[in-house]
Amino acid sequence: MIFATKRQVLLGALSGLTYSFFGTSAWSQGKTHTVEMLNKAPDSGERQVFDPPVLRVEVGDTVSFVSTDRGHNSESNSDMMPAGAESWKSPIGKDIDVTFSVEGLYGYHCTPHRSAGMVGLVLVGSVSEAQIEAAKGVRQRGRAKTRYSEYFDQALAMLK
């Protein structure tokens, strides 16, 4: 009985090692998060929204923008992304998977509904309060301005 127990413990330790080896390896895949493009938010009833509009992910994770309602897309804000990061833009009505390999704060919007406030934020890896404060200085039009001020507050709350 004692030997059997020891063997089980050893096997358990070995599988733990295997797991952590693959878990930290360069080819390991990150998590996938979903952001829906909606005509109307189910909770607030707000029109033309990304749900959730503010998301915190790890470097290597993927955000899948899903075209639940027609007529929307996801496009990165050229003036709100880290240096060296790749921009993205999906065709209207199409889903897009974006994998984030550069840490930092990303803003994005729906091309036809930007001024209607259809915007969002993705915080990748470690984002500082200063980076969020800097993003507040980026000029926004129409409803995007109101929505972003709300979303920056949500992003700041996520850092705590």
- In the complex, minimum distance from the CB of residue 8 to Cu ion, in angstroms, rounded to a whole number: 55
Nearer to Cu ion, 92 or 138 (CB): 92
Contact call for residues 105 and 127 (beta carbons, < 8 A): yes
Residue 118 falls in the annotated catalytic set: yes
Minimum Å gap between C-beta 74 and Cu ion is 9
Residues lying near Cu ion in the complex (CB under 5 A) are found at 72, 110, 113, 118
Q: What are phi and psi of 13, to 5 degrees?
A: -65, -40
Minimum Å gap between C-beta 73 and Cu ion is 7
Nearer to Cu ion by C-beta: 113 or 147? 113
Q: Does residue 42 have a cis peptide bond before it, meaning omega lies within 30 degrees of 0?
A: no
Contact 54, 85 (CB under 8 A): no
The count of other CB atoms within 10 Å of the CB of residue 52 is 16
Residue 1 bears catalytic tag? no
Considering the candidates 37, 72, 81, 109, report the single residue annotated as catalytic. Answer: 72
All residues at 6 or more sequence positions from 16 whose CB lies less than 8 Å from its CB, including other chains:
none
Query: 7 or 40, CB closer to Cu ion?
Result: 40
**Residue located via tokens 């607030």:** 44
Concerning whether 109 is annotated as a catalytic residue, the answer is no
Give me the active site residues, please: 72, 110, 113, 118
